[in-house]
Amino acid sequence: MNLLAAVRVEYAAFTLDVELAADAGEVVAVLGPNGAGKSTLLAALAGLAPLARGRIEVGGRVLADRTAGVSLPPERRPIGVVFQDYLLFPHLSALDNVAFGLRCRGLARAAARARARDWLARVGLADLALARPAQLSGGQAQRVALARALAVEPSLLLLDEPLAALDVHTRAAMRRALSDRLAEFGGVKIVVTHHALEAIALAGRLVIIEQGRVVQSGTPADVTARPRSAWVAELVGVNLVRGRAAGEQIALTGGATLIAPGAGSGEVFAVIHPRAVALHRTRPEGTPRNVWRARIDGLDDEGTRVRVRTSGPLAIVAEVTPGAVAALALDQGGDVWVSVKAMEITTYPA
């Protein structure tokens, strides 16, 4: 089973226009800032949001085709969905929640409940079959929702922020458990999240959506090594700038320049890791090729490291030790000199 989708959804103030393909067994994580269109994409695939244009095909079966006038209702699509808040029916037991989708597809009550018991056992909740959602922990509710989605034997599994409702202590354990469950499912798996660690832990491919469009797609290693938007750069914790290269010189918007060996020519991205940014109280001696004066906009204490946000000819984040903050007397509003070694800058075509 594979997924081929070209999805366009139009609202009054927002348009989603995305193409997405995935193979059987593949886990694809869809990431993006709030309002990017991630959940709208899942809703369109599930049949909960009408297409303005496009086509959705799963395993060779057309689920929606705007031109041909095809649009299967959600209950007829071979799709399982795990919603962000799980949406378990509060008046039904865990067993009957899992059996619900099977009953909607025409399975007799006894057969549906038998299959539901089997799925509860698979997710380790056989002893809570009669419990109501209010009696379940967040992790248990998540497993019931996953069992409900998988019980209908879908070709495509959609998970919308599946770990968002869990507390920080439960999340790590459930992330590992979810990864194991996803590995056992042979269909296509699409996971929406805004959490980089979850995406990298669960998925073999990342698709980044911003303002209703795909801005980047690739393996976690590809995306983290070569971010193509400011949001992705912030997500993976690096500085990203864009400019026009000529030889070793990169001209940036606003008149600033960077020197980076092998920058090439034309529009390029330049990545600078915060740990490669050095801060000084006076202009540094020696031969650093990228030096400028800046103002400290803020300091974010992250335990063993402090991220120092600066503005100036080039706004950049430096990462230093707490000891360096004390030794340099760094404080918000203060002035510093910034230097970056040319060899520490990675460039690639924009």
Per cent of the chain over pLDDT 90 is: 67
Q: What is the pLDDT of residue 33?
A: 92
Determine the average pLDDT of the residues in 320-341. 92
CA nearest to 206, candidates 3, 29, 26, 41: 29
Can you tell me the distance from the alpha carbon of 336 to that of 328, in angstroms, rounded to the nearest whole number? Answer: 9
- Residue 291 pLDDT exceeds 90: yes
Determine the average pLDDT of the residues in 67-73. 93
- Residue 163 pLDDT exceeds 90: no
- Residue 158 pLDDT exceeds 90: yes
Q: What is the pLDDT of residue 262?
A: 83
- Residue 47 pLDDT exceeds 90: yes
| Domains and their CATH numbers in the chain | 3-233 (3.40.50.300), 238-349 (2.40.50.100)
What is each CA distance from 152 to 78, 107, 120, 146, in whole angstroms?
Answer: 8, 10, 13, 11
- Among 48-57, 164-173, 217-226, 330-339, name the one with the lowest average pLDDT: 164-173
Return the higher-pLDDT residue of 167 and 295.
295
> Which is it for strands 188-192 and 156-160: parallel, antiparallel or unpaired?
parallel
- Residue 287 pLDDT exceeds 80: no
Phi, psi of 167 (to 5 degrees): -75, 165
Which tokens sit at 66?
Answer: 């705007």
Confidence of residue 315 (pLDDT cuts 50, 70, 90): very high
Confidence of residue 232 (pLDDT cuts 50, 70, 90): very high
DSSP string for residues in 77-130: SSEEEE-TT----TTS-HHHHHHHHHHHTT--HHHHHHHHHHHHHHTT-GGGTT
- Residue 41 pLDDT exceeds 90: yes
What is each CA distance from 184 to 118, 122, 188, in whole angstroms?
Answer: 15, 11, 11
Q: What is the pLDDT of residue 177?
A: 82
DSSP string for residues in 187-210: SEEEEE-S-HHHHHHH-SEEEEEE
- Residue 20 pLDDT exceeds 80: yes
- Residue 288 pLDDT exceeds 80: no
- Residue 178 pLDDT exceeds 80: yes
Taking only the tens place, the pLDDT of each residue in 89-137 is: 999 999 999 999 898 888 899 999 999 999 999 888 999 999 999 999 8
Return the higher-pLDDT residue of 288 and 15.
15
